[in-house]
Amino acid sequence: MAPQYPPIDAGAHLIQYLFEVGPGQAGSMGVVPLSHGELRAWQDNMGLDLEPWETQLLRRLSGEYLGQLEKARDSNCKPPFGGLYRAPNLSKKIDDALD
Q: Average pLDDT of the chain?
A: 83
How much is the pTM? 0.68
61 within domain boundaries? yes
3 within domain boundaries? no
Per-residue pLDDT tens over the stretch 59-83? 999 999 999 888 888 877 766 665 5
State mean pLDDT over 41-68.
94
Range of the domain at 79: 12-98
* Total count of domains within the chain: 1
pLDDT score of 98: 73
Kindly tell me if the per-residue pLDDT of 14 is higher than 80.
yes
Q: CB neighbours of 7 closer than 8 A, spacing ≥ 6?
A: none
Kindly tell me if the per-residue pLDDT of 95 is higher than 80.
no
52 within domain boundaries? yes
Listed residue (65, 53, 59, 46) closest to 7, CA to CA: 53
92 within domain boundaries? yes
